[in-house]
């Protein structure tokens, strides 16, 4: 009986950690308007089926869809990375893959405009022809990469200054230098599932080049074992910058529904070492948006439902511990922020009502630890998507600084650079 009571108590504690309530305060707010463009390279000339319109919809490149964030080269700046563009492979061949330098001036209780300045950018490109399959700009000398080539969703900066990206069409890991040049061929994802041989079996989405090249006849089985747009949505690097933790957004065929693989990738050997843990979604229909480091074992995860605006109910930040797993390999979760219930006593955000701020965007895909008490969260606005702040209102890119109820235990080097 005692062992049963202890087990019940552990389960109750786990549920309390995952589903309890927390107090969070909005201490900073900034917004980049939806209609923010860079340069004069037109975009938006293709439909979801790949049909070419008579004219591009936009005269420049939208600075939108931020799916990952890291600290920038100067104090107060950040590198923010849009994903594959207009939401699909076939409507994004003229959306250039870039990482933008963003400098916000947060509105706080002591002042600030809440504006966001867009600076320089890193353009992804493959002039040395490292990519072994056809890309949109195959014949050009620069071979600029587009949203039809890759769906980039996460990135980190390695100790040597090179950049590693997680993407979803493969899903692949991509390795570029600080100027955006591909350093090697995309690295495929081994399948570490039960009964699989990770030396030859791979996790593949329907947009994987090998799957597309061997497309089955109608009604025949596909070789894909991961749904589209469910690849490496989140990826963190450990404090010593020796390991990557790429995290899938979707469940691999054969795994328990609603469980997501967190991989370990060794940077010295550039090899996947296995699945270090599984993340259990609160509901199998939910998705994760990002993964970021706290210390060697603890990381933050964004988890969300598919709702937007009035239909949004579940948008949260959890702390996970890779060293604490149950018998099935599920990592421990602890609720850190409920993004649908944030105190805004200083009325920093124009959307706050009666001192309460909600972040009801369908895709919230950026989280970064600033210090032990503060994190920065931002949304992917899926330009020109609407619905987060009104049925017919274009979603902006909002950045929110949040003061946590309980401090995080940070490893040395984690947080805002001094």
DSSP assignment of 239-255 equals TTSSEEEEE-SSPPTTS
Which of 110, 104, 151, 113 lies closest to 398, judged by CA?
Answer: 104
Tell me the C-alpha distance between 127 and 105, whole Å: 36
Tell me the per-residue pLDDT of 55-105, one tens digit each, with 9 for 90 and over: 999 999 999 899 999 999 999 999 999 998 898 999 999 999 999 999 999
Is the model's pLDDT at 40 over the cut of 60? Answer: yes
Range 182-194 average pLDDT: 97
| Nearest Cα to Cα of residue 154 among 67, 271, 250, 244 | 67
Q: Write the pLDDT tens digit of every residue in 360-405.
A: 999 999 999 999 999 999 999 999 999 999 999 999 999 999 999 9
pLDDT digits (tens, 9 = 90+) for 317-369: 999 999 999 999 999 999 999 999 999 999 999 999 999 999 999 999 999 99
* Residue 51 C-alpha from the chain's centroid: 28
Residues 32 and 396: beta-carbon distance below 8 Å: yes
User: In order of start, what are the domains of the chain with their CATH numbers?
Assistant: 18-403 (2.120.10)
**Per residue in 135-178, pLDDT tens?**
999 999 999 999 999 999 999 999 999 999 999 999 999 999 99
Torsion of CA 292, 131, 95, 87, to 10 degrees: -60
pLDDT the model gives residue 64: 85
Q: Which two tokens stand for residue 71?
A: 């600290």
pLDDT at residue 1, as a whole number: 40
Tell me which residue of 344, 346, 342, 350 sits closest to 393, measured CA to CA.
350
**Res 21: pLDDT:** 83
- pLDDT at site 5: 35
The confidence score (pLDDT) of residue 13 equals 39
Residue 222: its pLDDT value, please?
84
- In this prediction, residue 219 carries a pLDDT of 67
In Å, what is the CA distance from 263 to each residue of 84, 176, 274, 316, 365? 22, 20, 6, 22, 19
Beta-carbon contacts of residue 308 (< 8 Å; ≥ 6 apart):
360, 361, 362, 387, 388
Q: Cβ contacts of residue 354 below 8 Å, gap of 6+?
A: none
Tell me what the mean pLDDT of segment 1-25 comes to.
Answer: 52
| Residue 3 predicted with pLDDT over 80 | no
What pLDDT is stored for residue 20 in this prediction? 62
Strands 331-338, 187-190: pairing is unpaired
Q: Are 202 and 209 in contact (CB under 8 A)?
A: no
Q: How confident is the model at residue 15, as a pLDDT?
A: 42
pLDDT tens digits, one per residue of 106-121: 999 999 999 999 999 9
Which of the four pLDDT bands, split at 50, 70 and 90, describes residue 417? confident
Q: Is the dihedral of CA 249, 368, 407, 414 positive or negative?
A: positive
Check: CB of residue 315 under 8 Å from CB of residue 366. no
**What's 226's DSSP letter?**
S
- Mean pLDDT estimate for the chain: 94
* CA atoms of 196 and 38, how far apart (whole Å): 45
Confidence of residue 17 (pLDDT cuts 50, 70, 90): very low
Measured CA to CA, the distance from residue 288 to residue 248 in angstroms comes to 8
Neighbouring residues of 54: CB distance < 8 A, sequence distance ≥ 6: none
Mean of the pLDDT values across residues 204-226? 87
> Cα(65)–Cα(83) distance, rounded to whole angstroms?
6
pLDDT of 9 = 39
The pLDDT of residue 418 is: 66
């Amino acid at each position: 009986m005692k062992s049963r009571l202890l087990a019940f108590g552990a389960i109750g504690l786990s549920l309390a950690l995952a589903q309890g309530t927390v107090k969070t305060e909005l201490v900073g707010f900034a917004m980049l308007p939806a209609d923010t463009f860079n340069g004069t390279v037109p975009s938006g000339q293709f439909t979801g089926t790949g049909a070419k319109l008579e004219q591009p919809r936009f005269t420049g490149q939208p600075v939108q869809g931020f799916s990952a964030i890291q600290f920038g080269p100067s104090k107060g700046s950040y590198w923010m990375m849009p994903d594959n563009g207009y939401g699909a492979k076939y409507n994004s061949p003229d959306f250039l893959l870039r990482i933008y330098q963003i400098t916000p001036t947060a509105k706080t209780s002591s002042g600030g405009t809440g504006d966001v300045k867009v600076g320089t950018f890193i353009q992804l490109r493959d002039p040395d022809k490292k990519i072994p399959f056809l890309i949109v700009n195959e014949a050009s000398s620069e071979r600029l990469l587009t949203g039809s080539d890759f769906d980039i969703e996460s990135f980190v900066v390695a100790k040597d200054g090179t950049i590693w990206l997680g993407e979803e069409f493969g899903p692949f890991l991509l390795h570029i230098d600080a100027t955006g040049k591909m350093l090697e061929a995309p690295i495929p994802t081994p399948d570490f599932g039960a009964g699989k041989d990770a030396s030859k079996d791979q996790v593949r989405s329907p947009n994987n080049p090998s799957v597309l090249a061997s497309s089955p006849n109608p009604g025949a089985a596909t070789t894909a074992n991961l749904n589209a747009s469910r690849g490496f949505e989140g990826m963190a690097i450990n404090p010593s910058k020796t390991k990557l933790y790429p995290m899938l957004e979707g469940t691999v065929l054969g795994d328990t529904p609603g469980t997501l693989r967190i991989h370990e990738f060794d940077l010295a050997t550039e090899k996947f070492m296995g699945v270090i843990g599984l993340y259990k979604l609160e509901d199998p229909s939910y998705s994760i948006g990002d993964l970021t480091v706290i210390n060697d074992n603890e990381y933050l995860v964004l988890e969300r439902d598919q709702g937007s605006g009035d239909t949004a109910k579940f948008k949260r930040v959890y702390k996970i511990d890779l060293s604490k797993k149950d018998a099935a390999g599920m990592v421990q979760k602890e609720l850190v922020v409920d993004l649908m219930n944030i105190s805004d006593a200083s009325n920093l955000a124009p959307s706050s009502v009666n001192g309460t701020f909600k972040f009801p965007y369908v895709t919230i895909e950026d989280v970064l630890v600033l210090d032990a008490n503060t994190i920065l969260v931002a949304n992917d606005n899926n330009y020109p998507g609407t619905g987060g702040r009104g049925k017919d209102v274009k979603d902006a890119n909002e950045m929110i600084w949040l003061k946590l109820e309980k401090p995080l235990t940070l490893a040395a080097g984690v947080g805002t650079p001094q």
